[in-house]
Amino acid sequence: MLDGITNILVVGIGGQGVMTAAEMLARTALNQGYDVKKTEVAGMAQRGGVVSSHVRFGPRIYSPQIDPGEADLLIGFEAAEALRWLPYLRPTGVAMVNTLRLAPPVVSVGLYDYPADPIGELAQAGIEVHAFDAGAIATELGNAKLVNTIMLGAISDYLPFSAAVLRDCIIEGFRAYKPKLAEINAQAFDTGREAGHVQTSS
């Protein structure tokens, strides 16, 4: 986190909640008094394409984009997507990855191969990797949609502000708009936070 600026890249596939997760991080940073910019290219995101959302915050942010090699944190909602965006991470960066494997039609019909061990490849790159099955936790908690909050919980101890402020920002949002889901999301956040502590060794 150079010059007091934090660069977070959130990546995944259209429909996974990548943009919502990025929005939560940006809002929390705004509440903490940072200047914030968030950008994504997701023109056809709903059609199963790649989604990447850049969140930058610090004393003053000009360009909204994170340059390759400049991300402090990489949050991957899918294993191969995390690997795709690895060149954006600093050598000292942290990757928080959901081990879910989603093969697109081009892989399914045999035009391309899905990487055999994307998490292993990430770990071999010398960065700090934390990988776990967020989907399994969500299923256990009874709602597949919780993956988003689980991933945010997982990253919450690697941010320049406390996990509690991110947690509050998320849960406040649920209290205001979907109060019934507040409790289960709080649980998802905490479970994700635990899961995120485990580092994958190369």
Residues engaged in binding other proteins (CB under 8 A): 13-14, 23, 26-27, 30, 35-50, 61-65, 67-69, 80-81, 83-87, 103-115, 118, 144-145
Residues 77, 195, 155, 128: is their CA dihedral positive or negative? Answer: negative
Q: State the minimum distance, in angstroms, from the CB of residue 192 to other proteins.
A: 20
- Residue closer to other proteins by CB (options 89, 96) is 89
Which residue's entry shows tokens 């081009």? 106
- Residue closer to other proteins by CB (options 50, 151) is 50
Q: State the minimum distance, in angstroms, from the CB of residue 181 to other proteins.
A: 10
- Residue closer to other proteins by CB (options 65, 162) is 65
Cβ proximity of 79 and 118 under 8 Å = yes
- Residue closer to other proteins by CB (options 121, 190) is 121
Q: What is the distance between the alpha carbons of residues 165 and 163, in angstroms, rounded to a whole number?
A: 6
Q: State the minimum distance, in angstroms, from the CB of residue 27 to other proteins.
A: 6
- Residue closer to other proteins by CB (options 65, 199) is 65
Longest Cα–Cα distance of the chain, Å, equals: 49
Q: State the minimum distance, in angstroms, from the CB of residue 84 to other proteins.
A: 4
Q: State the minimum distance, in angstroms, from the CB of residue 162 to other proteins.
A: 20
Residue among 108, 10, 84 nearest 51 (CA): 10
Specify the DSSP class assigned to residue 41: E
